[in-house]
Chains A and B, each alone.
Chain A
Amino acid sequence: MQSKDNNSIDKTEASRISEKIINGDRLILARIITQIENETPLGFSVLEEIYSETGKAQLIGITGAPGTGKSTLVNQLAAYYREPEDGISKSVAIVAVDPTSPFSGGAILGDRVRMRSLSGDPGVFIRSMASRGSLGGIAATTSAIVLALDAAGYERIIIETVGAGQAEVDIANLAHTTIVVESPGMGDDIQAIKAGILEIADIIVINKADKPGADITERALLSSLQINLKNQNDPNRYQHMNNGLIDDHSKIEYGEIRIPSVIKTVATTGEGIASLHKIIEEHYTYLVNSCELSQKEKKRISFELDVLLRDKLLSNWKRKTKKELYDEIFQKTLTRDISPWKAVDQLVDGEKR
């Protein structure tokens, strides 16, 4: 059968390609990232082959409103990972996501402008992505691209997102450490109480801390966290932060519950970057030592499977369903003979009333 032949060709080519990626071929890596981004059969085949080589990299998500200096911060952080004051140099990949224009479908991907100093370093790989209509802070294929970079051996992968409304949630699903970047004088007292940040951020960075108002911003954030701190020792609070994924038999220690760190930086000068690096590394160690890393992983896989299942079930269903039936029920909904809920009942369960 033709499709079977294609699959076996793909598999051989996919194995060849994945071996090259794992062995450090950057050109092939870049090209496969394009395949993955375009959701081609080859892209999927390669993902299949490399999947067992993933799970090694530490993923750091960075989000925050435009103008907070995220790109400059990412540049400094990556450079520091390459040459830390104490500690071993790590290879770094950066995925920078910028918004796609809803009108033209095009995008300006400008994050490299801030990353000149990383140029020429073979231990750094930077890839810019457009969100391509995705409403959260990352693109639909960002997590798959992160897998490719992981398999290629980059030890730290920084995902810099568009600072849009749901970005914190999206990035927290993907990254091990979620960093939210604030900057003084951007309506901070409201931001400080924004529930999304406080519950999702592992680290809150106040960048541009040389600007007036940095101390006020810091105080406002810390006092908001104090309010949450009241319930610090309440096991139910811990459960809330994990959205109830703790089962009865889990062995979680309630001793020291981690609250987000707040740190001031001036990315343009590098001030605070060494401390940020230290906190990120400490956070990952904490995740490993508590059960949180495996909880996060379970939650991420669960979420990912749901999304993929939803897509696949819907497209399978559409393929199997007669267009006339769909049109008939669609029409009834349009003329308000039946409600959309009834329409779906009829379409899916075949109920007739």
Chain B
Amino acid sequence: MSSRKIRVLIAKPGLDGHDRGAKVVARALRDAGMEVVYTGLRQTPEMIAESALQEDVDIVGISILSGAHMALVPRILDLLKENQQENVKVFVGGIIPDEDIAKLKNLGVAGVYGPGTLTTQIVLDLRNILQE
């Protein structure tokens, strides 16, 4: 009998080409026993939502260093809801100014992780979020 694995989608929307952070997080989640679908660069919100649906993920992690987060993240959240995936937890990483962190959380983002975040923190948070 297979054990229940946590499935995570890690995506980079928009034109931002810096993927080292996303890859570090992906590897950390793998090392924590999760199955991480890594989509790579230049994803549109539509592509991210479609991947989340087909892969039936529990969590979507979005990495944005371009500053476009207030345009992209709400769109992704809307699409997830449209696809009846409002239960999927979303976390955001990258360069997010402090004043936007609260806004994102109000929209339903479960966690915002800027530079210097310990991957162990992310793993812990994700596990806790899914317990709820």
Contacts and interface: CB of A to CB of B under 8 A. Distances in A.
Contact of B38 (A27, A33, A113, A119): A113
A108 B54 contact: no
A33 B1 CA distance: 15
Interface string A122-153: 00011110101000000011000000000000
Interface string B25-62: 01101111111111110111011001101111000000
A165 interface: no
A37 interface: yes
Interface secondary structure of B, over-half rule: mixed
Interface string A77-104: 0000000000000000000000011011
B54 A126 contact: yes
Contact of A106 (B2, B4, B35, B46): B35
B8 to A, nearest CB: 9
Listed residue (A38, A103, A119) with the most chain B CB atoms within 10 angstroms of its CB: A119
A92 B32 CA distance: 33
B31 A104 contact: yes
Contact of A110 (B38, B44, B55): B38
Nearest to B84: A27
Contacts of B83: 27
Contacts of B1: 39
Interface residues of B, number: 34
A34 interface: yes
Nearest to A107: B35
Contacts, number: 89
A116 interface: yes
Nearest to B23: A108
A255 interface: no
A30 B56 contact: yes
Nearest to B1: A39
A105 interface: yes
Listed residue (A31, A109, A125, A140) with the most chain B CB atoms within 10 angstroms of its CB: A109
Nearest to A34: B56
Nearest to A121: B50
B5 interface: yes
B27 A31 contact: no
A334 B37 CA distance: 44
A126 B51 CA distance: 8
B66 to A, nearest CB: 18
A30 B33 CA distance: 21
A106 B33 contact: yes
Given A109-B37, A112-B37, A113-B38, A37 B32 contact: no
Contact of A105 (B5, B40, B42, B46): B5
B34 A106 contact: yes
Contacts of B44: 119
The 8 closest A-B pairs by CB, nearest first: A113-B40, A106-B30, A30-B56, A105-B33, A119-B47, A106-B33, A34-B56, A109-B37
Given A109-B55, A112-B51, 19 more contacts: A26-B53, A27-B85, A30-B53, A38-B2, A39-B1, A104-B30, A104-B32, A106-B30, A106-B33, A108-B36, A109-B35, A109-B36, A110-B40, A112-B37, A116-B47, A120-B50, A125-B54, A126-B54, A132-B2
